[in-house]
Amino acid sequence: MNVVFLTLASEGGASPRYRVYQYLPWLERAGIRCTVLPAVSARASRRLYGTGRRSANAAYQAAELACRLAQLARARRFDTVVVQKSLLTVGLRGLDRLAAAAAGRLVIDVDDAVHLGPPHRLAGWLRALEDEAQPARLLTRADRVVAGSEALAASIRPLNPHVSIVPTCVDTDRLVPGRAGRGRTPVIGWIGSPSTAPYLELLAGTLRRLARKHRFVLRVVGAEAPRLAGVTVEARPWDPDRELHDLHGFDIGIMPLPDTPWARGKCGLKAVQYLAVGIPAVCSPVGAAPEIVRQSHEGFLAATASEWEAALELLLCDPGLRARLGAAGRARAEERYSLRAGAPKLVTVLEAIDD
């Protein structure tokens, strides 16, 4: 079986890294030959998705389109085409029909609610070619959709009933628990990308109130940190070589999300990372979070400012509770969100569509 994965970014992007690249050795061992074709170079994708990212411009979008069209022209050489998330960062008129015609069998893998619209608008003279419904129509044309959570799958089934769930997983042999930071100021940590960093503003008031009562550091990895008067805040760029070290520096992991249709499609990578390294997670009960974190088992689900404050205060004041919830989270990550758990599911999906 010969499969090509069409990704928006190279391995430096979180979505292709966790949804495609990390599975390649497992797929190859199962006899599935894999090719990965990003829409743009690693350098170009860093400009769009990196910490100091810029808006996509017409030149970027034209280059992305030219590259993707050339890749689709080669698609018939492969048994199955897997589109990871979307064909382009924008919606382009007619591209869904072209992809369906070019692919022998078409699989769409999603870890965001791309059917609600593309992540960017077309720029400049390309605006005349825009079709914001194109990503949704691509889902309807797929032979199989792979979703990163049940919540996301439920929102896609009205478009295509052929949906399988493969949760976003991590390599639990690499992401392992570290030593508890005894005696240090507790660290409330967040890791992610600039696109989700604005959600930290949801906790601005909560963190300010906590800082008046307790000593802690808010550490943000992968994006600029919010400015919060009275709160000690640190920001660090995401670095693949430092990711584990940075996670080990957290005592509590947070994942705030607004309750919006787009956020409900989020598949909870942050929460899975926190569980894997053995730290308790506090999350908004949105999207995949309630599937990953069970209330008072691996962490807490907090819907209101008072619930967030209570959960964080409890964990800040009780290192023993942090250790117990962290150990439970590690066990859950190994059982449900490890490569050993997720890779066989992806193999099964690809082999079934090949029959």
Domains of the chain: which residue ranges? 2-168+339-354, 187-336
pLDDT in tens, 35-69: 999 998 777 666 654 444 445 567 777 888 899 99
Closest among 49, 325, 21 to 169, alpha carbons compared: 21
- Rounded to two decimals, what is the model's pTM? 0.93
Residue 298 in contact with residue 283, Cβ under 8 Å? no
Answer yes or no: are the C-beta atoms of 78 and 104 closer than 8 Å: yes
Angle between helices 305-317 and 204-211 (to 10 degrees): 40
pLDDT at 352: 95
Distance (Å, rounded) from C-alpha 318 to C-alpha 31?
A: 49
List the strands of the sheet with 163-165, edge to edge.
Answer: 33-38, 2-7, 80-84, 106-110, 144-147, 163-165
- CA pair distance 27, 8, nearest whole angstrom: 20
Look-up of token digits 């897997």: 82
Q: Which superfamily does CATH assign the domain made up of 187-336 to?
A: Glycogen Phosphorylase B; (3.40.50.2000)
Spell out, as residue ranges, where the chain has pLDDT lower than 70: 44-57, 123-126, 181
pLDDT for position 21: 97
Nearest-angstrom CA–CA distance, 107 and 353: 9
Residue 303 DSSP code:
-
| Per-residue confidence (pLDDT) for residue 53, from 0 to 100 | 45
Closest CA to 211 of 322, 320, 319, 312: 312
Buried b (16+ CB within 10 A) or exposed e, 63-88: ebbebbeebbeebeebbbbbbbbbbb
**What integer pLDDT is reported at residue 54 of this predicted model?**
47
Q: Decide: 140 and 174 in contact? Cβ < 8 Å.
A: no
Residue with tokens 């090509």, as numbered in its chain? 4
Question: For the domain bounded by 2-168+339-354, which CATH number is listed?
Answer: 3.40.50.2000
On the question of a common fold for 2-168+339-354 and 187-336, the answer reads yes
pLDDT of 92 reads 87
pLDDT tens across 123-169, in order? 666 677 888 899 999 999 999 999 999 999 999 999 999 999 999 99
Q: What is the pLDDT of residue 44?
A: 63
Q: Tell me the two tokens of residue 134.
A: 């194109």
